[in-house]
Structure 1
Amino acid sequence: MALQDMPRYLVGRNLLTGPVDHRQVEEVLLRDGWTPCGAGDWAIALRSPDGAAAARISPFDPTGPYSAALYVRAAHTRRVPVLLAHRRLTGGGDLQVLEWLAPVPDDEAIAFHEALAEPRPDLAELAAIVHDVHALARRELPWCGPLDRNPTNVMRAADGRLVVLDLFYADGPHLYGTAGSDPDRVAALIPEAERRFMTEIPLATSGPWEPASRESMRAALAAADARRAGGG
């Protein structure tokens, strides 16, 4: 979506064009009247002043571009959220602005996931696109996980249709476990510019993450980067 086509509350704030990180995006949106409406392990969410959109802000999300690609490629199926804007943030973060969605009961969400996995005829095209984008992510990303069938990833749009989102994710336990045990491997596979804020994900579901553990991981990765820079 072009900048001039964005909702009025995003225009002129340089969120889609200038270099900004997750903290700056959150600060600007809060100042413009967006309100917190949720948090998960990888991202927080803010709701727009008019209630029509939500911003998903992640400090570190390697799979963000693949989710955005799915929403664009599968838009015509009307079984994915309307993507109003997407951009990568400084340090490996990710911003997605989506239409506002509401949760659905678990049984309804599970039934949708099952129908997508079969796939049911009316979901066959979506399933094929999901498979293609996920296969690309698995080829290109270290530590890309399997499809996320969490019931919370099925939601209802304002017009009543069910949509699926956040199907792709980094295998956090494996990735962060490797960062703790073999930081040189992480440093070799993910450039520093794409993981600068990897210790700042919210972990609202799996946490808390003790500050000392975060600092230890940051220090280990910084040392690994220094070794790479020095050829050691």
Structure 2
Amino acid sequence: MMPELDAQADHRDAQRVLRAAGWTPGGAGDWAIALRSPDGTAAARISPFDPTGPYTAALYRDAASTRQVPHLYAHRRLTGGGDLQILEWLRPVPVDEAAALHRAIAAGAPPVAELAAHIRRVHARARRDLPWCGPLDDNPANVMRAADGRLVVLDLFYADGPNLYATAATDPGRVAALIPEAERRFMTEIPLAASGPWPPEERRAMRAALAAADARPAAT
């Protein structure tokens, strides 16, 4: 189910190839857009910049036996720090139902105890490995229902965007030192569908400041 992508494909290439294959818009969030497969059974989550993508994919693989995470059909890192996940198609659930599942996970309650243990392990690894890795995201939108009726959690891990982007604006050298350029090339291209809009001039200024910070070590 993974599209045929060039080895150097970025998020734009992934979206172009999938759209050409008949995938259609399925929504957008702050970090990624979604496309739906022609048969309606799968979703492609495409992010220009998502440091936590590999950890989310690891959770889906590790916790697959619980059936409380989405089926992950394919995962691939994209050039420039992007992330592509092909998942089963999911539907929203009522807020109270989602909140109850989040509470059960936080408490390690028996129906989700195995899932909660997987989440803690993978999240601890992400917090250890990644600068600006945020806490678990208990947004009700991160609980959805699969076609077979089961509840699943998704997108629990995220970069602390407000802190990361504020640092990029005020101390770009710190961001340049902690996140390699190859892993943040498109960090100003996230959709921000919920938190935006993000003025183009601010995006340009951030790119210029990070490029200058990248150039300084080479100059010295």
Question: So what's the TM-score if we normalise by structure 1?
Answer: 0.93
Given the alignment of the two structures, is residue 78 of structure 1 paired with residue 67 of structure 2, yes or no? Answer: yes
Residues matched between the structures, number: 220
Q: Distance in 1 between matches of 2:35 and 2:4?
A: 18
For residue 105 of structure 1, what is the aligned residue in structure 2? 94
Given the alignment of the two structures, is residue 135 of structure 1 paired with residue 124 of structure 2, yes or no? Answer: yes
Matches within 5 A, 1:7-46: 10=2, 13-15=3-5, 18-46=7-35
1:195 counterpart letter in structure 2: R
Q: Deviations over 1:118-167 (max 9, x none)?
A: 11112111101100000000000000000000000000000000000000
SS at match of 2:197: coil
Gaps of 5+ in 1: 1-5
Matches within 5 A, 1:154-165: 154-165=143-154
Q: Deviations over 1:89-134 (max 9, x none)?
A: 0000000000000000001000110111111112111101100000
Aligned with 1:50 (options 32, 36, 39): 39
For residue 118 of structure 1, what is the aligned residue in structure 2? 107
Given the alignment of the two structures, is residue 167 of structure 1 paired with residue 156 of structure 2, yes or no? Answer: yes
SS at match of 2:34: strand
Matches within 5 A, 1:147-158: 147-158=136-147
Q: Distance in 2 between matches of 1:95 and 1:130?
A: 20
Given the alignment of the two structures, is residue 188 of structure 1 paired with residue 157 of structure 2, yes or no? Answer: no
SS at match of 1:206: coil
Quote the offset at 1:19 in angstroms. Answer: 1.9
Q: Distance in 1 between matches of 2:173 and 2:144?
A: 39
1:124 counterpart letter in structure 2: A
Q: Distance in 2 between matches of 1:22 and 1:99?
A: 20
Given the alignment of the two structures, is residue 90 of structure 1 paired with residue 90 of structure 2, yes or no? Answer: no
SS at match of 1:51: coil
1:188 counterpart letter in structure 2: A
Structure 1 segments of 4+ aligned residues over 3 angstroms from their partners: none
Quote the offset at 1:86 in angstroms. Answer: 0.2
Q: Distance in 1 between matches of 2:10 and 2:36?
A: 19
* Aligned-pair Cα RMSD in Å: 0.9
Gaps of 5+ in 2: none
Quote the offset at 1:14 in angstroms. Answer: 2.3
Higher mean alpha-carbon deviation, 66-75 vs 113-122, is at 113-122
SS at match of 2:80: coil
